[in-house]
Structure 1
């Protein structure tokens, strides 16, 4: 029986996002987590863009044919996540509540924007929004 492939799409050039995606784990019973760099052309990035989701405003988790975006993505990751290790336990407790995820995620996104601006990184701008290429 083939295990479900679960995709986590994020901006690899963001050091905070990259660190998070390298340590987050999901339970073995759920499937196989595959990390996808949003800056590379891929079928899932085409799907994200066609759904009108701005990858600069949130990571995307694709699971069971459904896209989870931003706070919903981090909430879903917490629910399917492994509880092994300090980071994964903290991730579960912080984001297991949909309300907590919807409050905390915008703060994390704001910190990410500041970090990328300080590092001189450009936005991915997958929706080709005019003047939306700098943080």
Structure 2
């Protein structure tokens, strides 16, 4: 069954991880989707209680992992040909360790988004754009 990793395309760290996972992660049928750009997908995820502002989402059929659990699950499935992904697999494939380290990833994401002038919550950008029309 296909896996879909939904990430925040506004975050350079998130985008880099997603792209490398898709290209050299060794996970067959991994599809990546930019949740910041895909408003319809983000609405579907929000309806399921999966807020992209609080973390990446991994989907497999009806199963969904969010935040640290999503990263632990995808890292546990990696069979990378890339040294950076191999290191990330070691760090994040164990769910307890992923839960402890995930706040650092969220901090890096917040910092990168602030630096780029983007809101942490992609829905804030959508609401602001709608109000300005």
Q: TM-score range by the shorter chain?
A: 0.7 to 0.9
Please tell me whether residue 73 in structure 1 is matched to residue 70 in structure 2. yes
Structure with the largest fraction of helix: 2
Q: Shift of the alpha carbon at 1:13?
A: 1.4
Aligned length: 121
Please tell me whether residue 86 in structure 1 is matched to residue 83 in structure 2. yes
* Structure 2 unaligned regions, length at least 5: 128-133
Q: Deviations over 1:45-88 (max 9, x none)?
A: 33311112221110000014211000000000011111322122
Q: Deviations over 1:20-68 (max 9, x none)?
A: 111112433xxx11111112133x4333111122211100000142110
List structure 1 runs of 4+ shifted beyond 4 angstroms: none
Where 1:7 maps in the other structure, the secondary structure is: strand
Please report the RMSD computed on the Cα atoms of aligned residues, expressed in angstroms: 2.0
* Structure 1 length-normalised TM: 0.80
* Structure 2 length-normalised TM: 0.81
Where 2:97 maps in the other structure, the secondary structure is: helix
User: Following superposition of structure 1 onto structure 2, how do residues 1-135 of structure 1 map, counting pairs within 5 Å?
Assistant: 4-24=1-21, 25-28=25-28, 32-39=29-36, 40-42=38-40, 44-122=41-119, 123-125=121-123
